[in-house]
Amino acid sequence: MADALHERLRALVECHGQSEIARRTGVSPTNIHHYLKGTRVPAKFCQALVEAFGVNPAWLLTGQGAPYLSDVGHDTSVLAGRFLELVNAINAVTKLRLGSLAGKERQKTLRELSNALGEYESRRANLHDKTAAIFTTLIGQFEGALASGERKTGEALIPGLEQAARLCDEPALQERYRLARARLEIARQDTPKAAELLRDVLRRRAADGTLSDTTLMSMAASPLMTISALGANSDALRMCKALLDLHGDRGEKGDGARTALEMVRGVFELRDGDALDAIDTFARTFASLEPDDRFSHRHTVQQALVFTGLQSVEDVIGADRELFASNAGASEPRLSFISTTQMQIVYLLAAWTESPRTIARALDTYKEIEREGAEAGASYIVEYLHDLHAALEGDRKTAARFDQRHVDVADNPTRTFSIVVCQCHLHRSCGDMKQARKALERAAALHQRLSESRLTPHVMFAAQHWRNVLVLLDGSKTKDERTLCAQGRDFFNRHAAKGFAIFREYLA
C-alpha cells in the first residue's frame, strides 16, 4: 500500500512539478524528494495536497476513484445525465394512451424501455458496489481523523464523502456517516447542524418498517438524548412524544424499551421546565424500569423531587453517603454505580443553595467519583463548585483563577453560556461586582443568541443566570436592565407555575 501511495505521489509531481507542490503545501522540496524515494508520507502532507490541489483523498490513500475531487463531480454529472435520459424515456411512455400500447411501434418502445431498465439496474448495482467500498473507506478515514483530533483532515474529506453519500444508498453507511458528521459539527460549534443530522438519523430509523417497535425505541433513546444535550431539548421532547404516540399501545405490556423511552420523555419534560409533568411521568414509569435503569435514573428523579420541594439536596447527599458506607467493606467496591453525570446533578443543586456546609458535604461525599474524571466537556462543573466553596469561605481570588482556566471558553453555545454564568456567580460571590457585571453582560448576550437559535441551556444554569440578573440589577433605572429583570422574574414565575418550588424566593 505504501509503494502504491508513493506511485500516486510521483504522478502528482509529474503533473504539477515538485517546486509548485512545495510552494503550495508549505513542505520543503527536500522532504518531498525524500517522500518520492520511499520515506513515510505523513498525514499532514496528504491533507495539504487535498487542500491545495483538490486531490481526491480516496484516490490518494487507496487508489480508488478519480484523482481529483472535481473529476468525481464530473463523473457524477455524466452518470446523472444518463439516468436523466432514462427518466425522460419513462416519462415519454407515461404520456402514451393505454389503448395505443397494442401497436407494434409502441410494443417496440416498451421493449426498448425494458432493456434500458435492465441496463439501469445493472449499472446501479455496479455503481452501488463501487461507491460502497469507497464510502466505507472514506468514513473510516473520517472517523479516524476525528478520533485523533485532526479536524482539518476530517473537513478535507467531506467533499468526497458527500459525493459518495449521494451515490451509495446503503442505510448502515448513511447512518454511520451522519453520526460521524454530527460529531464534527459539534466540534465546529454548529449545534443546529449537528441536531439536524441526528434528527435525520432518527427519522430514517422511524421510517424503516423492518424495525420492531421495541428495537426502534431502544435505538431512538441515544440520538434523542444527544439532541437534548446539545440544547435542542424542545425538539427532542417533541420527537420523543411523536415516537411514543406513533406506536400507541402496540408495544407489549412490560416492554422495557418503551418504558425506558417514557423515562427519557420525563427527563426532557424536566429540562423543558415542566417539573409537574416530569414527576407524573416518573411516577408512572420508574417502578417498571429494570433494576440497573432505576439506579442510573434515580438522581434524575431526586432532582425533580428537589425542584418541587419534596426533597432537599441534603437528603440526596445523605442517601449517597449511606450507600457508599454500606459498600465500603466490599471486596470490590463499585463507586462507578454513580456516574459523573449523576454527580454533576447533585453539584448544581448544591451550588444553588450557596451554603458552604452543604457544598462542603457534597464535595466530601463524591471526592472518589471526581477522581474517575468528569464527563467530557463538563469538568468545569466540578471546578465551579470547588471555587464557589472557596469564595463562600472568604477566598477572594478564586474567581480570577477560574477565569484563567477558561480564557478560551467551551466549544458549543450552551456550554459557553454555562461557563460564563459560573464566572458571573463566582465574581459575585467574591464580592467583585464590577467583574460580575462584565460577565453578566456576556451571559445576557449569549442567552439572546441561544434564544434566537432555539437552543435551551440547562435549567440550573438558566436559573443561576436570572438570579445573577436580579441580584446585580434589581432596582436599576436603565431601560435595558429593567427589561432583563422583568425577564428574570418571568422565568421564575413560569417555572414555579410548573412545579419548581425551589425558585419561590425569586417570585415577583
Per-residue pLDDT of the chain (508 residues; tens, 9 = 90+): 557 788 888 888 888 888 889 888 888 888 888 888 888 888 778 878 888 888 877 778 777 666 776 555 455 445 444 444 544 555 554 544 444 444 555 556 556 656 655 655 665 666 666 678 778 888 888 888 877 777 788 888 888 888 788 777 788 888 888 888 887 876 676 667 777 787 777 677 666 655 555 666 666 777 788 778 777 888 888 888 877 876 665 444 446 778 888 888 999 999 888 999 999 999 888 888 877 778 778 888 999 999 999 999 999 999 888 888 776 654 444 444 566 778 889 999 999 999 999 999 999 998 888 776 655 557 889 999 999 999 999 999 999 999 998 876 555 788 889 999 999 999 999 999 999 999 999 999 999 998 888 888 899 999 999 999 999 998 888 999 999 999 999 999 999 999 999 998 888 6
Contacts (Cβ under 8 Å, ≥6 apart) of 249: none
The per-residue pLDDT for 96 is 47
The per-residue pLDDT for 157 is 84
The per-residue pLDDT for 84 is 46
Beta bridge partners of 68: 55
The per-residue pLDDT for 98 is 44
The per-residue pLDDT for 399 is 95
Closest CA to 219 of 181, 175, 182: 175
The per-residue pLDDT for 507 is 80
Q: How is residue 184 annotated by DSSP?
A: H
Residue 187 one-letter amino acid: A
The per-residue pLDDT for 336 is 45
The per-residue pLDDT for 163 is 78
The per-residue pLDDT for 112 is 60
The per-residue pLDDT for 393 is 95
* Exposure letters 14-52 (e unless 16+ CB within 10 A, then b): eebeeeebbeebebeeeebeebeeeeebeeebbbbbbeb
The answer to whether 198 touches 219, Cβ cutoff 8 Å, is no
The per-residue pLDDT for 151 is 78
Give, for 99, the enclosing helix (H) or strand (E).
Answer: none
Q: Which CATH number fits domain 206-310: 3.30.70, 3.40.720, 1.25.40, 1.10.150?
A: 1.25.40
Sign of CA dihedral 435, 439, 440, 442: positive
3-class secondary-structure state, position 231: coil
For residue 251, which phi and psi values (nearest 5 degrees)?
-70, 150
Question: Could you tell me the residue ranges of all domains in the chain?
Answer: 206-310, 312-377, 399-507
The per-residue pLDDT for 470 is 96
Beta bridge partners of 55: 68
For residue 68, which phi and psi values (nearest 5 degrees)?
-120, 150
Contacts (Cβ under 8 Å, ≥6 apart) of 246: 206
Closest CA to 498 of 228, 276, 238, 207: 276
Closest CA to 223 of 236, 204, 213: 236
